[in-house]
Chain A
Amino acid sequence: EVQLVESGGGLVQPGGSLRLSCAASGFTFSDHYMDWVRQAPGKGLEWIGRIRNKPNSYTTEYAASVKGKFTILRDDSKNSLYLQMNSLKTEDTAVYYCARNSITGTTGLVYFDYWGQGTLVTVSS
């Protein structure tokens, strides 16, 4: 059974840092790209970034809203994904989800077929 379990959320002051983790099991983690999506309280979903797999040099992509302050990392030996968040602002308050990225078809259809339960990050003084 595929499982993604996030941890590391909590209350942090503006300007602070936090590192989220996502522990994966039930599939070959190293094969997949992995993404982070967040959801502010009462709001919709916002894609924030991706890390590709080893054959694709672990390259990363970020949304403009987090580029330069968030960093996505992975450790395939531990089946783990990380989100390092620096210079946090109140507008970064959200539930953060990790999601497994799957790709299929000749045109490379991308979709998020498994999601973690989410971890809440609250940025407040």
Chain B
Amino acid sequence: DIQMTQSPSSLSASVGDRVTITCRASQSTSNHLNWYHQKPGKAPKLLIYGASNLQSGVPSRFSGSGSGTDFTLTISSLQPEDFATYYCEQTYSLPHTFGQGTKLEIK
């Protein structure tokens, strides 16, 4: 199975900050990498698919980059509604696997 490791595990930031979360795969996933965020008690929501494609309806302050084993999710200017837990997911091979999550908290 491909292991996905996110860093940091938690992050404190302020509204307006630029934030970057990284995700590393234990082997290449090409660009088969998705990002989701999840608020407490809610289902995950797709933000980015295929490493860099913005899902329809997702604000343009979210962007993704990377290929192979190293990926990043960037939020250019944090908004109050962005405080959540973020997960990367590889869909290159089965079983699909998620990172452990990055909890983004208000500073």
A-to-B contact residues, CB < 8 Å: 35, 37, 44-47, 50, 61, 63-64, 97, 104-105, 107, 109-113, 115-118
A115 and B89 contact, CB distance less than 8 A = no
A81 to chain B, nearest CB (A): 15
The secondary structure that dominates the B interface is loop
Q: Give residues of chain B (80-106) contacting chain A, Cβ–Cβ below 8 Å.
A: 87, 89, 91, 94-101
A32 to B53, CA, bound (A): 20
B97 touches A118 (CB 8 A): no
Please report the total number of B residues contacting A with Cβ < 8 Å: 26
Please indicate the chain A residues that have their CB under 8 angstroms from the CB of B30 in the complex: 107
Given contacts A107-B31, A109-B50, contact A115 B95 (CB under 8 A): no
Q: A residues within 8 A CB of B100?
A: 44
Q: Which of B42, B44, B101 has the most CB of A within 10 A?
A: B44
| Residue in B36, B43, B44, B49 whose CB lies within 8 Å of A109 | B49
B46 on the A face (CB < 8 A): yes
